[in-house]
Amino acid sequence: MPDDRQWYINAIFYEVYVRAFYDSNGDGDGDLAGLRLKLDYLKELGVDCLWLLPFYHSPLKDDGYDISDYYQILAEYGTIEDLQALIAAAHQRGIRVITDLVMNHTSDQHPWFQAARLDRQSSYRDFYVWSDTDQKYRDARIIFLDTEASNWTWDELAGQYFWHRFFASQPDLNFDNPRVQRAILDVVKFWLDLGVDGFRADAVPYLFEREGTSCENLPETHAFLKEVRRYVDENYPGRVLLCEANQWPEDVLPYFGQGDEFHLAFHFPLMPRLFMALRQQDAGQVRWILDRTPPLPDGCQWCTFLRNHDELTLEMVTEAERQWMWEQYAPEARMRLNQGIRRRLASLLDHDQALIELAFSLLFSLPGAPVIYYGDEIGMGDNIWLDDRNGVRTPMQWDGSPNVGFSTAQAPDWYAPPVSAAGYSPEQVNVAAQRAHPDSLWHRVRRMIVVRKELPVLGWGSLSWIETSSPAVAAYWRGIEGQRLLVVNNFSRAEQEFTLPFPETPVRLEDLLGGRQVSLTGGNELNITLGPCQYLWLKVDLPR
């Protein structure tokens, strides 16, 4: 790979659930070798970096976020050699690969926990957080509200309570123990030596616990994360760390440090507001959250996203907003999970291509490096009848054949059935059909990515809002020296006509996506009419 150390600032990320992507050996589970066979597809889409969900040994109580061996790959997914072959083949195509790093907790099946629970004298006892009462750290919230009544669970074998921020089958590691810190750095070293380009670091706000605090975002946590960064920079320059902290922008900011902690962090609070704005037909919510998003230190970037493998989280909205989002987007009880909504992009947006395209226009044109969740580029649906978050983790729909182009096994032997909901079945929604159809969602998404790659301003540029007469319109400049892009998005289901003021009379205007003729009506104003949910990216050349 070329040594462009800031490659991530303007990269297109693609989140893959390996089990769902492509089954190379006909056992009904997608695998690493299968993913390798689909790299050309990802290249064609314009992906720069894959983020692989956990593929480590695990009893799968949390789909691999419960690791029982950090150094082994789950048998269904393949071998270390398969991963190396995948990385090599991706690198040949200019695609990087990052993987999940789950450091906050292990599985209760991990040998560390097994040793710890059996013997108070074990040198592993102190790898976890134990207590004789369940009354400590009462200010820490419970995250998996639907399943967990407490962050403490009594362990018969240990004769004590152990601490866990997620499922009770995922005991938290004790980061006050230097041996735990060392063990995690060893894990980091192992996978970076193998060639991965970095990590999406899971659940980092919760590493340390302190009485009288929420046990989130503690200074001790930042200190350790800075140590991880230092270690990576010193030994593996150019590799990246992406932070998963579902927090307000001002609380995420410290995760970038002074440019010496994470390179990237998800922008969680933006995501639900995109959906609010789309439903309210009013851009205000998007503008509000971006206006309260602080500037980042040099060399840092947000990762923006529409959906991911979890429920659409509503933790970063008010109680009233949460209720409203549930009413609007999750009318059936099975669509809700914890404080969120377990549905995919296309079904949230009523399978309406114009609306889905608009969501992608926002994702690709607002600040941040976009992350696409696998299948959303073709508008795949979900299956709310599967438990937990499995309904948004179904097999990738490659074609309309009976085996969906996913596996040679019979569908009943697959890890999960393909989506069958009306309008979303593989015959109706699949990669092959959309590639064959120039107006498909897939082609539109791909086109936006192609155009985005020609415009460094979208990765690096500033954002400034433009006032228009319509609250349904989000209009903004993206700018860096020498390049100016004007983006307008119509959130309304009705046509909107409005006027945009220009600082100077442009010498040239180019509609980058639609190829429509745009001209000034005179003076320094542009009259624009946008159809329902239409968007426009205009390259603007101002006089020198």
Which positions lie near ligand NOJ, rule CB under 6 A? 62, 65, 102, 166, 202-203, 244, 309-310
CA distance 496 to 513: 19
If we measure between CA atoms, which residue out of 263, 242, 105 comes closest to residue 170? 105
Residue 93 has a CB neighbour count (10 Å cut-off) of: 12
Q: How far is the CB of 202 from ligand NOJ (least distance, A)?
A: 5
Contact residues for 214 (Cβ-Cβ < 8 A; gap 6+): 139, 140, 141
Instruction: Select the binding partner of residue 161 from ligand NOJ, Ca ion, none (C-beta < 5 to 8 A, by kind).
Output: none
Residues linked to residue 496 through DSSP beta bridges, in sequence order: 530
In contact, 413 and 28? CB cutoff 8 Å: yes
Which structure tokens are listed for 53?
A: 């969900």
Nearer to Ca ion by C-beta: 22 or 51? 22
Q: Which is nearer to Ca ion, 58 or 181 (CB)?
A: 58
Which of 170, 434 has the CB closer to ligand NOJ?
170
In the complex, minimum distance from the CB of residue 407 to Ca ion, in angstroms, rounded to a whole number: 7
CB of 390 to ligand NOJ, least distance (A): 11
Residue 384 C-beta: closest distance to ligand NOJ, Å: 18
Are 209 and 140 contacting, i.e. CB atoms less than 8 angstroms apart? yes
Looking at the Cβ atoms of 263 and 309, the one nearer to ligand NOJ is 309
Question: Cα 119 from chain centroid?
Answer: 39
Contacts of Ca ion in 21-40 (CB under 5 A): 23, 25, 27, 29, 31
What does 29 bind: Ca ion, ligand NOJ, none (CB cut-off 5 to 8 Å by kind)? Ca ion
CA distance from start to end of the chain: 37
Q: 50 has which bridge partners?
A: 14, 97
Residue 102 contact partner, candidates ligand NOJ, Ca ion, none, CB within 5 to 8 A by sort of partner:
ligand NOJ
- The SS3 of residue 513 is coil
Q: Least Å distance between CB 313 and ligand NOJ?
A: 9
Q: Which residues contact 463 (CB under 8 A, 6 or more apart)?
A: 290, 366, 367, 476, 477, 478
Strands (E), 264-362: 264-266, 301-305, 312-313, 336-337, 340-341
310 neighbors 389 (Cβ within 8 angstroms): yes
C-alpha 207/C-alpha 349 separation (Å) is 36
| Min CB(304)–ligand NOJ separation in Å | 16
Nearer residue to ligand NOJ within complex by CB, 415 or 477: 415
Residue 173 C-beta: closest distance to ligand NOJ, Å:
12
- Has 202 been annotated as catalytic? yes
By beta-carbon proximity to Ca ion, the closer residue of 19 and 125 is 19
Residue 310 binding: pick among ligand NOJ, Ca ion, none (C-beta 5-8 Å cut-off by kind): ligand NOJ
Cα separation, 391 vs 502, in Å, equals 47
**Residues that contact Ca ion, how many (by CB under 5 A):** 5
Selection from ligand NOJ, Ca ion, none that 27 binds (CB < 5 to 8 A by kind) is Ca ion
Contact between 6 and Ca ion by CB under 5 A: the answer reads: no
Picked from Ca ion, ligand NOJ, none, the partner binding residue 65 (CB below 5 to 8 A depending on kind) is ligand NOJ
CA separation for the pair 345, 246 (Å, rounded): 19
- Choosing from 155, 244, 261, 376, which is the catalytic residue? 244
For every residue of 202-268, DSSP letters joined together read ETGGGS---TTS-SSS-HHHHHHHHHHHHHHHHHSTT-EEEE---S-HHHHGGGGTTTTS-SEEE-T
Amino acid identity of residue 217, one-letter, is: N
- Pick between residue 244 and residue 282 the one whose CB is nearest to ligand NOJ: 244
Query: Least separation, in Å, of the C-beta of 29 and Ca ion?
Result: 4
Active-site hit among 202, 209, 261, 382 = 202
Token reading at 516: 């429509």
Binding at 100: pick from ligand NOJ, Ca ion, none (beta carbon under 5-8 Å per type): none
Nearer CB in complex with ligand NOJ: 309/452: 309
Residue 305 binds which entry of Ca ion, ligand NOJ, none, with Cβ cut-offs from 5 to 8 Å by kind?
A: none
**Strands laid side by side in the 473-480 sheet:** 462-465, 473-480, 483-490, 535-541, 508-511
Point out which residues bind Ca ion (CB under 5 A). 23, 25, 27, 29, 31
Question: Which residues participate in catalysis according to the annotation?
Answer: 202, 244
